[in-house]
Structure 1
Amino acid sequence: MTQPLSGFTVVENDSFVAAPSACLALSQMGAEIIKIDPLKGGPDIDRWPITAEGRSIYWGTLNRGKRSVAIDLRSDEGRELAQALITATGDEPAKTGIFMTNNVGRSFLADDVLRAKRDDLIHVKVQGSADGGPGVDYTVNAETGIPGITGPAESPRPANHALPAWDLLCGQAAVTAVVSGLLQRSTTGQGTYAEIALQDIALSAVANLGWYTEALQPAGERTKHGNHIFGTFGTDFTTSDDRSVMITAITRRQWQALVDSTGMTAVVEALQSALGIDLSQEEARYAQRETLEALFKPWFAARTLDQVSAELAGSGVLWAPYRSIGEVAREAAGTSAGSDGAGTGAIRGLASEQLGDMLVGANPIRFDGEYLSGEKPTVLGEATHEVLSEKLGLSQTDLGRLSDSGVLNS
């Protein structure tokens, strides 16, 4: 199928997760992404995880499918080149003039400066906090209160989660801001300047789940529940071969399926009668979560993971085995790695001269039933001369002079 953003050009100047992940998503939907990089790369150019040779898997994965242009942004000529790339109209002005950034302190990339050069600019800026202060996923998460209800129930200490969830949500909000800007420009001819603070993303998301309202109720703040799901029944169990599985019973149908599949009908009926409760009610299952955990624990402990899988197959029980990152990678590598672009699901193989065989994610939005993929590896500064010649009309003489003077990489 034709990718929905095919023919559009987005210029980015950013680092770390939120804005680069947004531009990766735009690239997967067909947009040409021109990434303006410092000559030696931004602050995340060597960020972990890295290969045995010290190359950043992190940078190479988040920034694939982009055309990297390395420019000395400390020089006047370099700054002028960056401004020209951002505000260039090209042959189809309606598909250009889109800029994504998270830079701080670069006045030459301020919205008023750029808009003076192109007034219909679509400019999206990712920030740490709405007042312009710094912030990363880990500091923002600390401020939300979430670490206080994460981790083992017996631990008094806050627990960070490994996933940069707020960064990734912020990236998708930035994609929405770009698409909204394109819609406004197509209908009014006007550009947009959208600012998205990582802190606002996190606070808004938690508030919209009702968790802050909950804290103001008579019961007060929620406490830690370990691996139990709050407000329902769901927790982890260990099998006889020391594997872990996550079992959930959120709906009545899921609960009944769990009871039936484990042969616990009589025991559950006796428990309900003794306590005068109805475990088909979600709140009752939550209140008795520890009792129910103890009730089902022997059933899982008596079976291997393969046996659990066989007995729960087609039962209607909502469950999943816990897998390590390595297990997921090895399974995906069996069908994807070593064959560039291979794979039919969300994980694809991508061959890179610098990083070797990579496993990368396709765009999770399926258009007409198909995942969008097909990105190419990106190398820092590799497209500099090509892009400046193509977009700004610079001659080889111009490019040679700028390279000799240190404004561009050679």
Structure 2
Amino acid sequence: MTGTPPLDGMRVVELSSFVATPLGGMTLAQLGADVIRVDQIGGGPDIDRWPLAPSGRSLYWAGLNKGKRSVTVDLRSREGRELVAGLVAESGVVLTNAPPRQGLTCEELKAVRPDLVHVRLQGTRDGGNAVDYTVNAAMGFPLVTGPPGQETPVNHALPAWDVACGLYMAVGLLAAERHRLRTGEGQCLRVALYDVALATAGNLGHLAEAQLTRARPRLGNHLFGDFGRDFATADGRVMVAVLTARHWRDLVEATGVGEVAAALERAFGADFREAGDRYAYRDALGGVLGPWFSSRTCDQVGETLAKTSVLWSRYRDFAEVAAALHDEPLMGRLDQPGIGVHLAPGSPLRLGDASMPPVPAPTLGEHTDEVLRDVLSLSADRIAALRDAGTIR
């Protein structure tokens, strides 16, 4: 990225683990903030979380901490917590999902930094424990995921609530920072994983639908409320989605099923320009379109549909995606210490023509001395004494 990044000059102390909070911190770091991740000596509970590189290092940890600085402190000791409180006093911004520790609560930290912006992730609004997997189970989505007739729940492989929560945390932090710039007032902001999932289910209409009509049934790979589904091809499988009358017209013309589709309209008294009718008769329409897809390869399907407005994609596994990363402008060559050279994503945010390439994650505790020296102005002798006492490493 050329020029000054938008969050240049902002320093954030992050006390975190797992997905949501590290993702929120990394999002800020990719925009130019100096994000200092503080961990217990030896690392937090996510330090060796799978997937692992051949070296045994966590690809998960490295992937969610790109561009940050790392400090390790004995958070169980009073002196260690005082060091962290000092970092907070100098930075004025905290992002955390760590268990509350004496001396590091928002209220205690505001005593030394009254304009503190403190963003805390909770499991539930009342402070109870929850993780993506339990929140998802409580929210209904596993019971509408999977094929019709499936009796047991089907969990989604993507930790969607963690991802959404991490981005909410970043947005909330920036909103609180803007409020501080305008008024001089700090904020103790809390985000609950359960609330983010509940809000999303409500915003997408799932909860109102269940209250006013009925709970949504399982649909397999069908698109609810319009025509969308997967089709087998001669060499794979594709997903096709129709969301507008134009999409439908183009799909009918491209596949040559116009006469049959018109006959179905007359037989059913339907109008397939309407989303509701396309959805109601999705099985019949799928039966009509299926032979066109099954008689063609994915490349042939793509060559035809690329000339239309129809939304489609071939199904790929992660290995296929990884094999094509050299063609992705988001990806950059990253030499991650302890893991090696691989292609990794930069920020998906694009500021004009500027790109934000990936920056390696720190090794655990890599910047402890540097941060204590530059941020807290500790002398070399003082840092050495802290190390000898086991307070830092």
TM-score by length of structure 2 reads 0.97
- What amino acid sits opposite 1:376 in the alignment? P
Deviations 1:194-217 (A, max 9, x none): 000000000001101111110122
Instruction: Indicate which of 183, 189, 212 corresponds to 1:217.
Output: 212
Instruction: Indicate which of 43, 55, 58 corresponds to 1:56.
Output: 58
Contact 2:106 2:188 (8 Å CA) reproduced: yes
Counterpart of 1:406 in structure 2 is: 390
- What amino acid sits opposite 2:10 in the alignment? F
Instruction: Tell me, in whole angstroms, the C-alpha distance in 2 between the residues paired with 1:23 and 1:38.
Output: 17
Matches within 5 A, 1:8-407: 8-88=10-90, 96-218=91-213, 220-241=214-235, 243-332=236-325, 334-335=326-327, 345-407=329-391
Contact 2:55 2:338 (8 Å CA) reproduced: no
Which consecutive unaligned segments of at least 5 residues does structure 2 have? none
Question: CA shift at 1:362, angstroms?
Answer: 1.9
Instruction: Tell me, in whole angstroms, the C-alpha distance in 1 between the residues paired with 2:201 and 2:114.
Output: 36
- Which aligned runs of 4 or more in structure 1 are off by greater than 6 angstroms? none
Question: CA shift at 1:349, angstroms?
Answer: 2.4
Instruction: Tell me, in whole angstroms, the C-alpha distance in 2 between the residues paired with 1:370 and 1:274.
Output: 55
Instruction: Tell me, in whole angstroms, the C-alpha distance in 2 between the residues paired with 1:136 and 1:35.
Output: 21
Instruction: Tell me, in whole angstroms, the C-alpha distance in 2 between the residues paired with 1:233 and 1:346.
Output: 31
- What amino acid sits opposite 2:48 in the alignment? D
**Count of residues in correspondence between the two structures:** 391
TM-score by length of structure 1 reads 0.93
Which 10-residue stretch deviates more, 365-374 or 14-23?
365-374
Instruction: Tell me, in whole angstroms, the C-alpha distance in 2 between the residues paired with 1:358 and 1:63.
Output: 16
Instruction: Tell me, in whole angstroms, the C-alpha distance in 1 between the residues paired with 2:187 and 2:337.
Output: 39
Aligned-residue Cα RMSD (Å) equals 1.2
Instruction: Tell me, in whole angstroms, the C-alpha distance in 2 between the residues paired with 1:214 and 1:76.
Output: 52
Instruction: Tell me, in whole angstroms, the C-alpha distance in 2 between the residues paired with 1:372 and 1:51.
Output: 24
SS in 1 for 2:343: strand
Deviations 1:311-363 (A, max 9, x none): 2221221111111111111110x35xxxxxxx6x2222211121112332222
Question: CA shift at 1:107, angstroms?
Answer: 3.0
Deviations 1:111-152 (A, max 9, x none): 111000110000000111111011111100111111110012
Which consecutive unaligned segments of at least 5 residues does structure 1 have? 89-95, 336-342
Instruction: Tell me, in whole angstroms, the C-alpha distance in 1 between the residues paired with 2:350 and 2:275.
Output: 33
Instruction: Tell me, in whole angstroms, the C-alpha distance in 2 between the residues paired with 1:311 and 1:189.
Output: 58
Question: CA shift at 1:293, angstroms?
Answer: 1.1
Deviations 1:148-187 (A, max 9, x none): 1001222111111011111111111111111111111111
Instruction: Tell me, in whole angstroms, the C-alpha distance in 2 between the residues paired with 1:377 and 1:216.
Output: 46
Contact 2:250 2:310 (8 Å CA) reproduced: yes
Question: CA shift at 1:108, angstroms?
Answer: 2.1
- What amino acid sits opposite 1:237 in the alignment? F
Deviations 1:57-86 (A, max 9, x none): 000110121110011111111111011011
SS in 2 for 1:380: coil
Contact 2:66 2:358 (8 Å CA) reproduced: no
- What amino acid sits opposite 2:146 in the alignment? G
Deviations 1:275-309 (A, max 9, x none): 11111111000000111111111111000111111
SS in 1 for 2:220: coil
Instruction: Tell me, in whole angstroms, the C-alpha distance in 2 between the residues paired with 1:252 and 1:370.
Output: 37
- What amino acid sits opposite 2:379 in the alignment? S
Question: CA shift at 1:53, angstroms?
Answer: 2.4
Instruction: Tell me, in whole angstroms, the C-alpha distance in 1 between the residues paired with 2:299 and 2:178.
Output: 51
Contact 2:161 2:197 (8 Å CA) reproduced: yes
